């Protein structure tokens, strides 16, 4: 009987650390793919997202490229694979931080004439990545709050 109780308690501990993604898992997967596509499109001037990530295009767009890549792509993929509740919270909070970075990044490109920064406006890849990270942050927040 003690073994059965120990197995049930272990099962409860394991379930309490995981989240059930359901249909949201597919939506999150598609959004991660959209972020990857956004990295291949123009962000700043003639530079695509991955070039901005490695340092071309200014520090504010580089910060957004880094947070959207680390949180939006890498952490989301890890959270999807492991289904850990704590990683869902990391993706939710990090996603909202990346949303703010995206706003600042777009704003820095719209006002680049004032400070001499690269780019004459945000590229389509930056806008797509920003919209994708907003929806991704919403999905992760809903997932993180869905735990019973």
Per-residue pLDDT tens digits for 35-80: 999 999 998 888 898 899 898 888 889 999 999 999 999 999 999 9
Distance between CA atoms of residues 32 and 37, nearest Å: 9
- DSSP letters along 12-74, please? HHHHHTB---THHHHHHHHHHHHHHHHHTSEEETTEEHHHHHTT-S-HHHHHHHHHIIIIIII
Q: With 0.85 as the threshold, say if the pTM is over it.
A: no
């Amino acid at each position: 009987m003690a073994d059965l109780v120990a197995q049930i308690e272990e099962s409860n501990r394991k379930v309490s650390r995981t989240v059930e993604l359901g249909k949201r898992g597919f939506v999150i997967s598609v959004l991660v793919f959209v972020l990857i596509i956004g990295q291949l499109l123009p962000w700043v001037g003639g530079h695509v997202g991955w070039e901005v990530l490695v340092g071309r295009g200014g520090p504010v767009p580089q910060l957004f490229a880094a947070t959207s890549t680390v949180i939006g792509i890498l952490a989301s993929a890890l959270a999807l694979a492991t289904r850990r509740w704590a990683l869902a919270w990391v993706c939710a909070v990090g996603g909202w931080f990346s949303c703010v970075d995206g706003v600042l990044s777009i704003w820095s490109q719209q006002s680049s004439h004032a400070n001499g920064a690269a780019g004459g406006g945000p590229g389509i890849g930056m806008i797509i990545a920003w919209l994708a990270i907003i929806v991704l942050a919403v999905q992760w927040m809903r997932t993180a709050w869905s735990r019973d």
